[in-house]
Amino acid sequence: MPTLVIDNREVTVPEGMNVLDAAKAIDIVVPHFCYHEALGAIGSCRLCAMQFLEGPVQGVKMACMVPAQDGMVVSTSAAEAVELREHVIEWLMTNHPHDCPVCDEGGECLLQDMTIAGGHYLRRYRGKKATYTNQYLGPFIEQEMNRCITCYRCSRTYRDYCGGRDFGVFGSRNRVFFGRYKDGQLESPFSGNLVDICPTGVFTDKPFRFKSRIWDLQEAPSICPQCSLGCSTIPGGRFRELQRIRSGINQTTNGFFICDRGRFGYGHVNHPERPRDPRVDGLPVTMEEAITAARNRVDALAAKYGGASIAFLGSPRASLEGNLLLQAWAGRVGSSQSVFDAHQGRDHAARSLAANLASLARSLSDVRQSDLIILIGADPLAEGPSLALAIRQAVRQGSEVIVIDPRPVALPCAHQHIPLPPQLLHMVLKALESGQYDELNDAQTQPAVKTLRSKIAQAKLPVLIGGADMLGGLGVKLLCDAAKRFISAECNIGVMVMLSGPNSFGGAFLNIGGPDFDALIDAFQEGRVRGLVCLESDPFREAQFPAKAQAALGHLELLISIDCTPTLAAKRADIFMPSRATAEMAGSFINNEGRLQAFHQAIEPGMPLSALGPGKHPPRLFQSTTPGATPQPAWQILGQLLDRPADLNQLRRTLAAENPKLKALTHVDTTAARICAEPNGIAAALTHEMFSADSSAGNVPLLITSAFVGSHWLSHLSSPLKALREEPTVWLHPSLAATLGLKHGERAILSTTLGRCHVRVQTSNDMAQELALTYQLLDSALEGMSPGTIINCRLTGEEGQ
Amino acid sequence: MSELLPQNQLDEFKAKANCADHPQELIVDLLRAIQTECGWVPDHGIDLVADVLGVLPVEVEEVATFYDKIYRYPVGKRVIHVCDSVCCWANGSEDVLDHLQKTLGINLGQTSADGLFTLLPTCCLGACGEAPAMMIGLTTYGPLTPERIDQVLAEIREEAGG
Amino acid sequence: MNDYPQVLFKNRLPGETVTLRSYEKTGGYQGLRKALKMSPNEICELVKDSGLRGRGGAGFPTGIKWSFFPSKAPGEKYLVCNGDEMEPGTYKDRQLLRADPHQLIEGMVIASYALQATAGYIFLRYAYEECAQNVERAIAEAKAAGYLGENILGSGFALSLHVHRSAGRYILGEETALLNGLEGKRPNPRAKPPFPAQRGLFGKPTNVNNVETLANVSHIINHGPVWFQELALTIEGSGTKLFGLSGHLNRTTCFELPLGIPLREVVETYGGGIRQGRAFKACLPGGASTPYLTAEHLDLPMDFNPLEEVGSRIGTAGVTVFDETTCMVAVTRNLVQFFARESCGFCTPCRDGLPMVSWLLDKIEHGLGNHDDLCLLAKQVQNITGRSFCALAEGAMGPVESLLRLFEQELKDHIQKGQCPFL
Ligand SMILES: Cc1cc2nc3c(=O)[nH]c(=O)nc-3n(C[C@H](O)[C@H](O)[C@H](O)COP(=O)(O)O)c2cc1C
Ligand code: SF4
Ligand code: FES
């Protein structure tokens, strides 16, 4: 821990920290561009000059390139250093266009800040400027190369940090070009980070272009609702429209970056079909009327058939507060029928995780530091994209990555893939735990698992990673059990499991030993349950076996929906109450590592001005209310219904008082502590129904899984992401394709009991041999296929028809 | 791909890449070989290099666009590089350039109508003792006079015509 | 016509390249035989004692550089010969490789043995195809004769040499950019530390030396350090130096002359005086990055220290002479244009600072400058020198700094007259 003096102030910093960061640690910020905490120092911009007065290094030096050492005496305000910084800024500005008035970066331009901070105010250079031709980079990123100051941040982010393979640095001298080899859509699922990382307006958010001035945006720290990792985000909106999302900074979770699903997946908030008005029996009412009707009808049903005749379905995307109040409502009518994920397998996985994780929990930051990462039944890009980024950082530091999965799992880094059929995953986990390999009679799997065991035992910070879809409740328990086996003084092993939504863990936490949705389905059918309240959930689509669920749901006498998206439940509900999206409210989620994180309200809801169409602004029809502004946070709707405090903090305090395990709710923030449930009886109830296909008579088992884009409800509603959506595809191992007489790239017909559809055939050597694989794609013929299941299918070439 | 590189050369490079610890080190060699064959390096030349060496096309392009003697745009059959660094400049390289531009009817960076010559500036050729100098292909000529230039151009025209 | 002892050029014949046989006849590969009987450490000591300083421009003492090399570290280690030679005014390595390439091969084998390097690379610039072929031929000859390859001369020492042909750009002469170039990466310079001796080519310990530096090694082994020191005319200097003459001289060829030879003798005797009987105005003593010398410096000994004392450097000893009719502002503008164009584009002072300097000089040369521009120019020099990532931009400031120091009046004349006074 070296101690040095900067501007007459003593500071002690960790070994290896550079002097620029050491100064930052005592709030002395010296202008800089190329240095970035996540990207490291390269010393190219020459802006962070400081004068080293005493100690092992002397003279004017670039502070980012000098590790802090004992005895250093440094001045940031010495004339020579200040003068150099002035010059560097002046040079950087020589080629920069004077297009600030029309530049999309205006207002959050680091170059502008540094120009002022560096003391450059008068243009002296009157020579020619370099100009460039811009490239088309796809629907997310706009390029304006003339604004480039050549800090190399973009290529270091895109290529080095995110592992993108289609972006580079071309040319030389004062004509360096950053972009793709040829025009075309950026391929990395993390391309949007270019927007945040570029200090000027070269790479800007294309869907956001010309929508707002930055200073007119309403922003607040929030949590991404697109997966269970809980990345920090900063949504920004204006004119009642959520216009963009940028990455928040949280060293424990996402660090500085987010994925493109998180960044561009906000379209559900502005969706034209978003239901914004309360309804009772198809007629518009006020929120108060809807709330009263909901309370009365539920009470009436309870009076008639008993409290148990009403079920309550929360969701992984509803806030913890909302889910808690839903459970409280159930309690008030005397129903114990509350469930928090309509998808059986995912629900079990989450509960199993909440029950077993305890001190095995690992954060993304832990993953970044891990020296051995084993993924079993996990596909990060689909199930938790930022995890893929964290894994890449570990690999860059020398970590090894082994993937055991039937799917052709893609990662932005080197890894070893063992493509086992899904049935074997549990056996592998058992063998990992027990050291008994008998069940693994496969000649290749046995030695592979043996090696795995010895690798784990030798690693210092290994992490076992799983996914809810492939492992289910039982698998998650096996994963935790296996990990526990290796805990030792040397081996600090941990677990991370990707769940289905931002608050899956929270729901599981509330319902650790309660009923599950399959039990409810039976109850619907048998008439034991006659009413269902859906909180931001859509059992018609989300159930693991949607066809079965839809039939059962038809028996209901009362369907109530609270939601902010156009779900089937919302459309069919007898009573509908519009709720707010994450960006429009405050609340909290518990992410997949059990971390309770709060999010704040960025914008007010309302029909976006842009959606009112041309000529309608200013509105011709004068009215005192804002169109579409009725939605309220779900917790507020439920709070009114249950006569709870309207103030969030007060509500949190009462909730915490009722449930001592939720004490953390009283001081929740965007970077809060972890919450863990106590294991209780759940393990016994775990079933695993995913693998029930019979492979007789020409049937092929079809494994259904999810894609980066298209399988997830919220992002599915986002128009910019449509460009990334795959066409319906079936993946086959070449050997199976040959048996079926199908070729890579051909079109085929996929028939299942859920129907027939046309798909493109893709082959991969990197997957299990005896099965076909497809992604659930919402609003396509594959919509009814729910991830985490295997069904029978038949595949025939289109020509054969 | 055969028009980019004769099969035997291609095989040779593939063999070298196969046994090299760092196939990337062959990028410049391979780019130069393609250029020798085609006169310049077209896009599919970049793809070929990436393919043979097992690297990304961007990695090849990043290198190719750095060097001034790798041509990523079509050029004439012969590229004339006129040295404009200090020794040649002090000995009249500007006159050499004027003469060439007039004779060929083109400006710097352009290709003559017959497709034979492209005129480009270059930094010092290491022919400072023979200033002013120019390089055509891999041959350096100097000291240049208008007469000497005409003679060299004529020789090359003849060679190309015959 | 050259009365001084010839070491590197002793076999040189116009238009010819020395073959292995004739190289051996004049003592070729005797140094290697001798060296292989010594310990690697003894060789380093010998080279250190000889006082040999790098001939690539920076003049770092070669023996000291070698003694920092982790020759005992296990695994691959590399010796790289820097034959980029793209600094305007410099063409000595070309003459050497044209005339007598075996000297380089022999020097590299000895150096590799001293450093315990496992492979060697010879990096040659694009324009030197003829040299590349000479070197390749020499490598083949040496291999056939057992001077290269496995078990060299029965010593058990093995070495392979590879020729790399570049594709242009001056920056590749900078040793770390060169290493990136060899690896097939973008040839930007690398940060130091780690130095190439710690992490060089492909991350392995690597030593980079200039062609001429390495060519001297066998002679030092053969004749001893004292002989080498005495070759120079100055007390503290040692060895001969290849002087490539250019500019407004009657004779612009490359001579091997002792270090310490007075500039006047170089210009008048070897350069044959200024063309058309004109007067000497100034010269770049060692390539485009070295500050000017003027007539008042004509009696200076051309060696490292004396030139540093007057604020210049011997650099590569490529002497470019300008006569009295030359506008030094225009010369400097040309030089800065070169550096700006050859910048790799990595760091700001070079990438964007040099074009600014170039623009200023252009403005002044065209008579559009004012006195503020002179201050601006001086400030540019101050803030670029020592502030760039590698030495390219610093080198570019050498001539500009000396222009301000030695030709202030000429600059002012441009401003006062509103045009170049030499028009
Ligand atoms: C911009 C730049 C260009 C250089 N060009 C050359 C060159 O062409 N040849 C060379 O030998 N050294 C060149 N050098 C010096 C090398 O970096 C290195 O110091 C030298 O090769 C070491 O060899 P030596 O110690 O034998 O001189 C250059 C340095 C810089 C900063
Ligand atoms: S000074 Fe900077 S830009 Fe110039 S060549 Fe060196 S690293 Fe590149
Ligand atoms: S931040 Fe230090 S040189 Fe760029």
For residue B32, give its domain range.
2-66
Last residue of a domain, one of B12, B44, B66: B66
How far are the Cα atoms of A558, C93, C98, C230 from residue C103, in angstroms, in the given order? Answer: 97, 12, 11, 21
Q: Which two tokens stand for residue B150?
A: 């005409």
Identity (one letter) of the amino acid at A548? K
How far are the Cα atoms of A230, A323, C79 from residue A245, in angstroms, in the given order? Answer: 14, 25, 52
Strand A283-284 and strand A462-467: the pairing is: unpaired
Cβ distance A129 to A94 under 8 Å? yes
User: What percentage of chain C reaches a pLDDT higher than 90?
Assistant: 99
- Reported pTM: 0.95
For residue range C220-255, what is the model confidence (pLDDT) as tens digits? Answer: 999 999 999 999 999 999 999 999 999 999 999 999
Tokens 């077209």, located at residue:
B42
Q: Are residues B51 and B27 in the same domain?
A: yes
For residue range C161-194, what is the model confidence (pLDDT) as tens digits? Answer: 999 999 999 999 999 999 999 999 999 999 999 9
Answer whether residue A660 shows pLDDT above 90: no
Q: Are residues B150 and B91 in the same domain?
A: yes
Name the average pLDDT for chain A: 92
List the one residue out of B58, C129, C350, C373 whose CA is nearest residue A171.
B58
How far does B24 lie from chain A, in Å, by closest CA?
16
How far apart, in whole angstroms, are the C-alpha atoms of residue A114 and residue A188? 30
The predicted model gives C325-338 an average pLDDT of 98
How far apart, in whole angstroms, are the C-alpha atoms of residue A326 and residue A331? 9
Question: Which residues, judged by CB distance below 6 Å to any ligand atom, belong to the binding site of ligand 2?
Answer: C 171, 189, 343-347, 350-351, 388-390, 392-393
Q: Which two tokens stand for residue A508?
A: 């599981």
| Residue A406 region by backbone torsions, left for phi larger than 0, else alpha for psi between -120 and 50, else beta | alpha
Letter string b/e over residues A282-301, b meaning 16 or more CB atoms within 10 A of that residue's CB = eeebebeebbbbbbebbeeb
Q: Which two tokens stand for residue C11?
A: 């076999």
Q: pLDDT class for C351, splitting at 50, 70, 90?
A: very high
How far are the Cα atoms of A118, A596, C383 from residue A33, in angstroms, in the given order? Answer: 12, 34, 18
- Ligand closest to CA A20: 3
Q: Are residues B146 and B116 in the same domain?
A: yes
Question: How much is the pLDDT for A563?
Answer: 98
How far are the Cα atoms of A355, B124, C278, C399 from residue C89, in angstroms, in the given order? Answer: 76, 8, 21, 13
Q: Are residues B15 and B62 in the same domain?
A: yes
Q: Which two tokens stand for residue B156?
A: 């090359």
Strand A222-223 and strand A232-238: the pairing is: antiparallel
Contacting residues of C for B140, CB less than 8 Å apart: 127
Pairwise CB contact (< 8 Å): C356 & A150: no
Answer whether residue A693 shows pLDDT above 60: no
Q: Which of B41, B65, B68, B72 to mutate to test the interface with A (most CBs of A within 10 A)?
A: B65
Q: Are residues B62 and B83 in the same domain?
A: no
Please give the full DSSP string across A178-216, using - where no structure is assigned.
EE-SSSS----TTTTHHHHH-SSSSEEEGGGTTT--GGG
How far apart, in whole angstroms, are the C-alpha atoms of residue B127 and residue C130? 13
Please check whether residue B73 lies inside any domain of the structure: no
Please give the full DSSP string across A363-387, using - where no structure is assigned.
-HHHHHT-SEEEEES--HHHH-HHH
Answer whether residue A688 shows pLDDT above 60: no
Name the average pLDDT for chain B: 95
pLDDT top residue among A666 and A642: A642
How far apart, in whole angstroms, are the C-alpha atoms of residue C310 and residue A205? 56
Question: What is the distance of C-alpha A286 from the center of its chain?
Answer: 34
DSSP H/E element including C288: none
Question: How much is the pLDDT for B1?
Answer: 45
Question: How much is the pLDDT for A177?
Answer: 98
Q: Which of A18, A33, A35, A46 to mutate to test the interface with C (most CBs of C within 10 A)?
A: A46
SS (H, E, C) A475-509: HHHHHHHHHHHCCCCCCCCEEEEECCCCCHHHHHH
Please check whether residue B118 lies inside any domain of the structure: yes
How far are the Cα atoms of A147, A317, A337, A343, A503 from residue A340, in angstroms, in the given order? Answer: 49, 10, 10, 9, 9
Among A17, A34, A36, say which to mutate for ligand 3: greatest number of ligand atoms within 8 Å of CB: A34
How far does B135 lie from chain C, in Å, by closest CA?
8
Cβ distance B120 to B108 under 8 Å? yes
Q: Chain A to chain C, count of Cβ pairs less than 8 Å apart?
A: 85
User: What percentage of chain B reaches a pLDDT higher than 90?
Assistant: 95
How far are the Cα atoms of A362, A453, A637, A777 from residue A496, in angstroms, in the given order? Answer: 6, 18, 34, 26
Q: Are residues B89 and B127 in the same domain?
A: yes
Question: What's the residue count for chain A?
Answer: 801
The predicted model gives C386-412 an average pLDDT of 97
How far apart, in whole angstroms, are the C-alpha atoms of residue A535 and residue A326? 8
Please check whether residue B102 lies inside any domain of the structure: yes
Q: Are residues B154 and B82 in the same domain?
A: yes
Answer whether residue A273 shows pLDDT above 80: yes
Q: Which two tokens stand for residue C239?
A: 């060895």
Answer whether residue A694 shows pLDDT above 90: no
Which CATH number fits the domain that encloses residue B11?
1.10.10
Please check whether residue B15 lies inside any domain of the structure: yes
SS (H, E, C) C355-376: HHHHHHHHHHHCCCCCHHHHHH
Please check whether residue B71 lies inside any domain of the structure: no
For residue range B104-118, what is the model confidence (pLDDT) as tens digits? Answer: 999 999 999 999 999
Please give the full DSSP string across C184-204, using - where no structure is assigned.
TS--PPPPSSSPTTTS-GGGS
Q: pLDDT class for C98, splitting at 50, 70, 90?
A: very high
How far apart, in whole angstroms, are the C-alpha atoms of residue C345 and residue A175? 7
Which CATH number fits the domain that encloses residue B150?
3.40.30.10
Q: Are residues B53 and B86 in the same domain?
A: no
Q: pLDDT class for C135, splitting at 50, 70, 90?
A: very high
Q: Which residue of chain A comes nearest to C387, CA vs CA? A: A46
Please check whether residue B72 lies inside any domain of the structure: no
Please check whether residue B103 lies inside any domain of the structure: yes
- Ligand closest to CA C288: 1
The predicted model gives A243-261 an average pLDDT of 96
Q: Are residues B56 and B21 in the same domain?
A: yes
Question: What's the residue count for chain B?
Answer: 162
Strand A789-797 and strand A772-775: the pairing is: unpaired
Question: How much is the pLDDT for A669?
Answer: 66
Q: Which two tokens stand for residue A731?
A: 């993946």
Please check whether residue B129 lies inside any domain of the structure: yes
The predicted model gives A120-149 an average pLDDT of 95
Identity (one letter) of the amino acid at B153? L
Last residue of a domain, one of B66, B88, B103: B66
Residues 6+ apart with CB under 8 A from A544: A342, A343, A344, A345, A346, A517, A518, A689, A786, A788, A789
Pairwise CB contact (< 8 Å): B56 & A180: no
For residue range A342-397, what is the model confidence (pLDDT) as tens digits? Answer: 999 999 999 999 999 989 999 999 999 999 999 999 999 999 999 999 999 999 99
Tokens 């048998």, located at residue:
A526
Answer whether residue A681 shows pLDDT above 50: no
Answer whether residue A689 shows pLDDT above 70: no
How far apart, in whole angstroms, are the C-alpha atoms of residue A494 and residue A362? 6
How far apart, in whole angstroms, are the C-alpha atoms of residue A119 and residue A491? 52
Question: If you take atom 2 of ligand 2, which residue's CA is the nearest one?
Answer: C347
For residue range A746-759, what is the model confidence (pLDDT) as tens digits? Answer: 999 999 888 889 99
Q: Which two tokens stand for residue C294?
A: 């003027």
Last residue of a domain, one of B32, B66, B100: B66
SS3 B78: strand
Q: Are residues B53 and B125 in the same domain?
A: no
Pairwise CB contact (< 8 Å): B66 & A180: no
Least confident of A295-304, A752-761, C116-125, C212-221: A752-761
In A271-343, which residue ranges form alpha helices assigned H by DSSP?
287-305, 320-333
Residues 6+ apart with CB under 8 A from C394: C289, C384, C385, C386, C387, C388
How far does B60 lie from chain A, in Å, by closest CA?
9
How far are the Cα atoms of A270, C90, C214, C259, C271 from residue C95, in angstroms, in the given order? Answer: 73, 10, 15, 18, 17
Cβ distance A725 to A710 under 8 Å? yes
Q: Are residues B100 and B149 in the same domain?
A: yes
List the one residue out of A109, A99, A134, A95 whose CA is nearest residue A33.
A109
How far apart, in whole angstroms, are the C-alpha atoms of residue C197 and residue C68? 7
Q: Are residues B58 and B122 in the same domain?
A: no
Please give the full DSSP string across B95-160, using - where no structure is assigned.
HHHHHHHHHHT--TT-B-TTS-EEEEEES--S-GGG-S-EEETTEEE-S--HHHHHHHHHHHHHHH
Q: Which two tokens stand for residue C32?
A: 């290697």
Answer whether residue A301 shows pLDDT above 90: yes
Question: If you take atom 25 of ligand 1, which residue's CA is the nearest one?
Answer: C54
The predicted model gives A429-443 an average pLDDT of 86
How many structural domains are present in chain B? Answer: 2
Q: Which residue of chain C comes nearest to B24, CA vs CA? A: C184
ipTM beyond 0.90?
yes
Pairwise CB contact (< 8 Å): C379 & A83: yes
